[in-house]
Structure 1
Amino acid sequence: MALKKKPVTGMRDILPAEMQVREYVMNQIRETYRSFGFTQVETPCVEHIENLTSKQGGDNEKLIFKILKRGEKLNLETAEAENDLTDSGLRYDLTLPLSRYYSNNGAQLPSPFKALQMGSVWRADRPQRGRFRQFTQCDIDILGDATNMAEIELILATTTALGKICPKNAFTVRINDRGILKGMALYCGFPEDGLDQVFITLDKMDKIGLDGVKAELLELGYAAESVEKYAGLLSSLGEDAAAVRGLGETLAGVLDAKTAENLANIMDTVTEVAETDFKLAFDPTLVRGMSYYTGTIFEVSMEGFGGSVAGGGRYDKMIGKFTGQDTPACGFSIGFERIVTILMEQGGEIENAAPKKAYLIEKGMDPARYGQIMKQAMGERKAGVQVLVSMMNKNKKFQKEQLNKEGYTEFVEFYKEALK
């Protein structure tokens, strides 16, 4: 039986043209984040199954690629449950592994620690546009800083990177706080033990609209008075820092006064300092699904793409799950695959790319001439040109077409008899 040549469902082979775009995006992200003082680290792709299923990752815990025990530890005959068969799994994001990494290595790291991670993660999700079962994430996190300086730096660094990579696409950073989410729901009379369900419904706002949210909350049995009050509050709010401060005054009985002022201060500072052109908007309907978020949350939407292209927030309780002592932590993740998808759909052009030239050598040429050609190529490379040296195919036209897809725009042909 012939081996299967197609990749596993939800995973894919990446052709050279896209690989160049991916490398370009990754280099831009890395260069930008390093300029903000972030240090690159790496964590294993395999994590302990106990960590992955610790109820930190929300619905992603349903999508784990679990790994069977090995050797004598794998005993199918005595296994009574799934946990008897598996002891590890592929990471579904980079945040949980970073928290374990910091817990294990914190004594050797500066505080606060500004971490940069870039790597593959795996989720047994339903593949769709810009969403795969194996994909790359690019995260920056600040660990050990409880002030809003962390959020400000993360937003500035991420928007600077996106501005460089996608200069043609307008984008919006939406921002909220988990405390404000809770305060609004309590103010409107929802029971505290039912808030998770309220937020799950609210998170559908962009799909079903305010009327849909109201209908679903009523269907779930919440009081009509609470639902109407909630809908009125949501629809009355503005998007700027002043709206946040005003909401803080409204929620004075159920919200710590510092929460709204902290969020407004983040917005004011980012607006004052940012050099990239983007919209920063308070969004009281922003929820983000991860249960580990404890404070500020943010998400980026970009023109030309239906979903978010970046997101993150504060997760001050996760490291404490490992160490027994809570550590302030905040992170922002760029949806690498979605950014690459946008660039590929725009033609895959790379800003300020080095010129690419192909040397095509006719087959049958005296090998004694190779040195002369190679010397010429080395001279051009030294001058900053990317030079490919390759034998000329019989179908030269098709060969050039394929190389052109990889960005080679100039061709030099070398023949047996003479240089043309």
Structure 2
Amino acid sequence: MSKPGLPQGTRDFAPAVVRKRHYIFNTIREIFERYGFQPLETPAMEQLDTLMGKYGEEGNKLIFKILNNGLENPAKHEEAQQAFEKALEGKNVKELTERALRYDLTIPFARFVAMNHGQLVFPFKRYQIQPVWRADRPARGRYREFYQCDADVVGSNSLLFETELVNIYNDALTKLGLNGFIIKINSRKILSALAELCGGADKMVDITVAIDKLDKIGIEKVKEELTQRGISTEQVGVIEKYLNINGSNTEMMTQVSALLSHIAIGQQGIDEIQYVLDHFSAGLNTGDKNPLQVDFTLARGLDYYTGLIFEVKAPETVKMGSIGGGGRYDNLTGLFGVNGISGVGISFGIDRIYDVMEELQLFPDTLNTTTQILFFNLGTAEGNQAYKLVQQLRKLGISAEIYHETAKFDKQFKYAEKKSIPYIAVLGSNELQNSSFNVKNLQTGEQKTFNYSEIDEKIFF
């Protein structure tokens, strides 16, 4: 018999972990709804054609494809073999696979909007909290199955929504206690202007894919990759000058204006970044540190972004990559035959946020407590009466348990301690005669006696 195990890059979540994850989910969900976003869910799998070609050349390689049903049929073995051979040549073969696990939540959302745009009220604001799958190499903070929390707005070009989404990041991460996070902002329009300065729009993909690797491989390797992609030495020099822009937000905006403002699309990108900088800082209290920082090296190597782009970095005290990102994708629903619907969205990397919070010990201690009170089981008659009281407490919304069998005090005490149950209730033969029970606070040692008729929140003295 083989030893049980998990697929690489996936995890089980024990009760204590699930409670912590739900704490993150619920915190972010509350912020989403505070800003007027509505919940949405889409299927775990999509048609392969829905996903392919939407995430750039790197992303296409990471889509988990699902084999068609019936390939195990002996009558189709030759057909399946031919399909596999085509797949090994890098071709998409419908005889082999027509479906795939979703890579993110944005493309399925765009597909939903395209299919239902006649019934939606625009601007349509939705949030979505579901797992996604990527055939990536597992590493710390990188999994093959992980959750995303997305918030998107479609049906408006207003930069008000970019500002709202930045504020959602700020509100949610602040509430979670991740002090020191950074929200980076750039514009694909500025990157388009850079491409135009370096020979034309056809250079855009080559430049953004290379720049997106800057943090991982460094400036020299980026220059090498740009050269390999056909960018001239002079053009690489211009890109290097662009990547060396630094200083405060104001200083960086001045430097990029000097380099790119003479190009129309570059000026549009500069104006849009400035709008969000101005409106976000206006909402900060005096003395608040501004987490929103301009970063012209930010590229986000996904083909569908067209305007402002964002990326969130964890506090510097933790060695972790991006914990969120997003941007504007004006033509995304056009990929599905519905034109004229602009959109902008952000995503939270829940698993990475969890790892950061765990390392920084930011989860409240109260999350370890599920059951609030445990009634000891001290005999048949005593246990029957205790169970009645437990049911009364549950109807009052109080989480209560009764020990599952008659056992020694020590064993029942240890059960309460291991489960971090703060209160125990003892109902023995004497208490049964007096229609009473004793409640003890295991943290303080304080104990009180209550009558059956006093079953309510007062027992937590």
Whether these two folds match at TM > 0.5 is: yes
Point out which structure has higher relative CO (alpha carbons under 8 A, 6+ apart): 1
Matches within 5 A, 1:211-360: 211-218=220-227, 222-241=231-250, 243-244=252-253, 247-256=256-265, 257-274=267-284, 278-303=290-315, 304-347=318-361, 349-350=363-364, 357=371, 359-360=373-374
Aligned to 1:20: 19
TM-superposed deviation, 1:131: 1.9
Distance verdict in 2 for CA 1:353–1:402, change over 3 Å: closer
The answer on whether the counterparts of 2:377 and 2:402 sit within 8 Å (CA) in structure 1 is no
Distance verdict in 2 for CA 1:127–1:325, change over 3 Å: same
Aligned to 1:78: 79
The answer on whether the counterparts of 1:318 and 1:326 sit within 8 Å (CA) in structure 2 is no
Aligned AA for 2:13? I
Distance in structure 2 (CA, Å) of the matches to 1:225 and 1:16: 58
State the SS of the aligned residue for 1:391: coil
Please report the RMSD computed on the Cα atoms of aligned residues, expressed in angstroms. Answer: 3.0
Q: How many residues align?
A: 412
The answer on whether the counterparts of 2:134 and 2:145 sit within 8 Å (CA) in structure 1 is yes
Work out which of the two has the higher radius of gyration on C-alpha atoms and give 1 or 2. 2
Aligned to 2:455: none
Matches within 5 A, 1:21-420: 21-56=20-55, 58-71=57-70, 75-79=76-80, 80-81=82-83, 82-165=93-176, 167-187=177-197, 189-190=198-199, 192-218=201-227, 222-241=231-250, 243-244=252-253, 247-256=256-265, 257-274=267-284, 278-303=290-315, 304-347=318-361, 349-350=363-364, 357=371, 359-362=373-376, 365-372=379-386, 374-375=388-389, 378-379=392-393, 382=396, 386-391=399-404, 395=411, 399-400=415-416, 402-404=418-420, 408=421, 410-412=422-424, 414=426
**Higher mean Cα deviation, 272-281 or 33-42?**
272-281
Distance verdict in 2 for CA 1:381–1:323, change over 3 Å: same
TM-superposed deviation, 1:417: 5.3
Deviations 1:273-325 (CA, angstroms, capped at 9, x unpaired): 25685511111100112111111110000112420100001111110111241
Identity %: 33
* TM-score (norm: length of structure 1): 0.87
Aligned AA for 1:308? S
Aligned AA for 1:197? D
* TM-score (norm: length of structure 2): 0.80
Distance verdict in 2 for CA 1:349–1:365, change over 3 Å: farther
State the SS of the aligned residue for 2:16: helix
Structure 2: runs of 5+ lacking an equivalent: 84-92, 431-437, 441-461
TM-superposed deviation, 1:191: 5.2
**Higher mean Cα deviation, 199-208 or 30-39?**
199-208
Distance verdict in 2 for CA 1:64–1:374, change over 3 Å: farther
Structure 1: runs of 5+ lacking an equivalent: none
Distance verdict in 2 for CA 1:72–1:402, change over 3 Å: same
Aligned to 1:8: 7
Distance in structure 1 (CA, Å) of the matches to 2:60 and 2:121: 31
Distance in structure 1 (CA, Å) of the matches to 2:178 and 2:187: 30
State the SS of the aligned residue for 2:20: helix
State the SS of the aligned residue for 1:54: coil
